[in-house]
Amino acid sequence: MSLPYFTISKPTEGLFKDRSSKFLAYSFPITTVDDVKPLLEQLKMEHPSSRHVCYAYQLGTDGNNYRVNDDGEPNGSAGLPILNQIKSKEVTNVLVAVVRYFGGIKLGVSGLVNAYKEASKAALEKVIVVERIPTVVISIQFPHSSIGEVERIIRQHNFSIKHQAFGLDCKWLIEVPESENELALELFLAVKDVDLKP
């Protein structure tokens, strides 16, 4: 049985100022590493005159899948304080990025650690924490004649359809709880002419 985990329902923002430097923090719910780069690129486009966009993210339920990035700030002064705030909130599948505008006065490493910590904390204080169950996505292909049977399985087990394509065959992506993955595969493969796609 897969244990539930806690994540955030939607993006939030926070702000911290210290000696004319501004630290704008943004938290985002994410599901994979692929979600990270577009969000960071968007922030860099929105803040072209900022000095740094530092970030940290955590994915998965074991706490081992994370990354920190100081983006040119002194080593350990930005990404790690951000990650520590994510961990102290006890949430996962979260990206927090902090955009820094330099105010002309150097803050020193301890000042930076505090600023990145406080900015992240300000964004995370506004989040709505939600409980989720780990899921997997199954890709299946089947003839139009099998739609009724496939839909019946989805309805009966509260699976959800992530994507549908209708061509010569139907190609659907079905999201199922991780704990029911084997059952779902058995049920779909028992339907005539259903094939699994990688």
- Separation CA 91–CA 63 (nearest Å): 10
pLDDT for the residue 198:
66
What tokens were used for 101? 């505008």
With pLDDT > 90 as the criterion, what percentage of the chain qualifies?
A: 82
Is a pLDDT exceeding 80 seen at residue 29? yes
One-character DSSP codes across 139-186: EEEE-GGGHHHHHHHHHHTT-EEEEEEESSSEEEEEEEEGGGHHHHHH
Instruction: Find, among 32, 88, 85, the residue nearest to 56 by Cα.
Output: 85
61-90: per-residue pLDDT in tens? Answer: 887 899 999 999 999 999 999 999 999 999
96-143: per-residue pLDDT in tens? Answer: 999 999 988 999 999 999 999 999 999 999 999 999 888 888 999 999
Is a pLDDT exceeding 80 seen at residue 3? no
pLDDT for the residue 2:
60
CATH code for the structural domain at 134-197: 3.30.70.240
CATH code for the structural domain at 5-131: 3.30.230.30
What tokens were used for 23? 């630290």
Query: For the chain, what are the domain ranges?
Result: 5-131, 134-197
